Amino acid sequence: MKDVNLKETLLNPILKGNPISVLVLGICSSLAVTVQLKGACIMALSVTIVTALSSMVVSMMRKSIPNRIRIIVQLVVVALMVILVDQVLKAYAYSVSKTLSVYVGLIITNCIVMGRIEAFALGNKPIPSFLDGLGNGIGYGLILIVVAFFRELLGSGSLFGFQIIPDSFYAAGYLNNGLVILPPMALILLGCIIWIQRSIQKDLQEK
């Protein structure tokens, strides 16, 4: 186990090593939960909490987990965190919970959550592991929120369910773009984000 830079551990996954735009992991969520900004924010927060806490808990247990059953233990820890998040959503945001019900459950198998546990938490102390999970969750959520922002604004003319585009625009002939709320547009927007980031970060370009 080597010493880690806590600041870099937290910040690197947000932009330079973003799990979606750089590592191309967890892109299914960009299709499923980004039609509305509210749902994307709740999903982003849920994954961030699960990733951070799961990584910290597994890190605390890492020396006592037999290697042959480590995946099972990891799944149990992640499942526990997902259940807790799901119950909180049902208690305080029931309508959103119903909309995201199946997708919140699928956090258990999210490759970002399990990947960070395997790649980082099993070999590092709890605090760095927590920050790594937190950074990856924030990086994941940032992409979801950007995609959802454009999909809801251009597809429904609203943000968080509130109308943003004025009625005068519609009276003048403006129409919401129904294509934006269809799943293919999520991938197109994600592709644009990846292209912009790789254009800025030259080290990500394939040679």
pLDDT tens figures, 93-105: 788 777 776 777 7
- Cβ(133)–Cβ(116) below 8 Å: yes
**Higher pLDDT residue, 109 or 5?**
5
Contacts 24+ apart (CB under 8 A), 6-15: 6/127, 6/128, 6/131, 9/128, 9/131, 9/132, 9/135, 10/131, 10/132, 10/134, 10/135, 11/135, 12/135, 13/132, 13/135, 13/136, 13/138, 13/139, 14/135, 14/138, 14/139, 14/142, 15/139, 15/197
Distance CA 77, CA 91 (A): 22
pLDDT in tens, 37-91: 988 898 899 899 999 999 999 999 998 988 888 999 999 999 999 989 888 888 8
pLDDT at residue 138 in the model? 94
pLDDT at residue 186 in the model? 87
Tokens of 100: 């995201």
pLDDT at residue 141 in the model? 92
pLDDT at residue 3 in the model? 59
Please say if the pLDDT value at position 128 is more than 50.
yes
Would the pTM of this model clear 0.75, i.e. be above it?
Answer: yes
Please say if the pLDDT value at position 125 is more than 60.
yes
The strand pairing partners of 163, in sequence order, are: 158
Please say if the pLDDT value at position 142 is more than 80.
yes
Please say if the pLDDT value at position 17 is more than 70.
yes
Count of CA atoms in the C-beta half-sphere (13 A) of 158: 10
pLDDT in tens, 168-206: 988 988 889 888 888 888 888 988 998 888 888 777 655
Tokens of 33: 């939960």
**Higher pLDDT residue, 34 or 53?**
53
Please say if the pLDDT value at position 207 is more than 70.
no
Confidence of residue 1 (pLDDT cuts 50, 70, 90): very low
